[in-house]
Amino acid sequence: MIIIPAIDIKDGKCVRLAQGDFNRVTTYGDNPVEMAVAWMQKGAELIHVVDLDGSVAGLPRNANIVLDIAGNVDVPVQIGGGIRDIKTIEFYLNHGVSSVILGTTALQNEDIVQSACSAFPGRIIIGIDALKGRVAVRGWTETTEKRAIDLARHYENYGIKAIVYTDIERDGMSTGVNIEATREMAMSVNVPVIASGGVATIADIEKLLAVKDCDIYGVITGRALYTGAIDLEEAIQKTKTG
């Protein structure tokens, strides 16, 4: 399992939201590129970037910053937020970004997902943001009746790279990872699952590492890194020894 630092971009800055609420924003840095470089220097093997403005607008709003991040780090970068058409997918993947994350599009436009997976096998990630097990879309501003696990199963044989599973209720709250929901998701599909939402302390990393009967590929952490509640280098060391 790898530790994946999160860089959420809003108005050009590095921020974190509480439970996906755009009215509950904490700014942690004015330069997302410098933040990404810092995480890389501390040993990050992958950087998770979200264009929060784009997720609401439905098209990229911070693409230049995303490409700057990809061009300034020597590790893969995955991007989500506002990616709703093939043109945007091609733009990112042809300009240094390793993988794109499709969330709203995965629920609303299967044809785009199918085309993207055919054109870029192994570079498409399905982002499933869930509130009480139901899928949320459009930057978490809308909750649907679709079960998260059903959506994951629908796409597991499309040639996707992974599923990023985010528990919105815990995201940005430092209340601990929803281990059972994450495990249930990982047990339900045959593709790697990346856990996200609620990582509070190194104990959460240890709990995920203790899950041995399914494939949890990585865990995304944001607020806990920015507040110092988790030391990235210590967390990475845990994954190497635990």
- Answer yes or no: 171 catalytic: no
From the list 8, 51, 171, 204, the catalytic residue is 8
Instruction: For the beta carbon of residue 12, count every other beta carbon within 10 angstroms.
Output: 14
DSSP letter (8 states) at residue 153: H
The SS3 call for residue 242 is coil
Crossing angle (nearest 10°) for helices 110-119 and 86-93 = 30
From the list 53, 129, 171, 204, the catalytic residue is 129
Non-local CB neighbours of 41 within 8 Å, separated by 6+ positions:
none
Cα dihedral 199, 205, 208, 209 in deg (nearest 10): 170
Task: Tell whether the torsion through CA atoms of 95, 151, 148 and 159 is positive or negative.
Answer: negative
- Answer yes or no: 8 catalytic: yes
CA distance 110 to 89: 14
User: 81: which 2 tokens?
Assistant: 């937020």
CB 202 within 8 A of CB 237: no
Closest alpha carbon to 54 in 88, 28, 86? 88
CA distance 213 to 233: 26
List active site positions.
8, 129
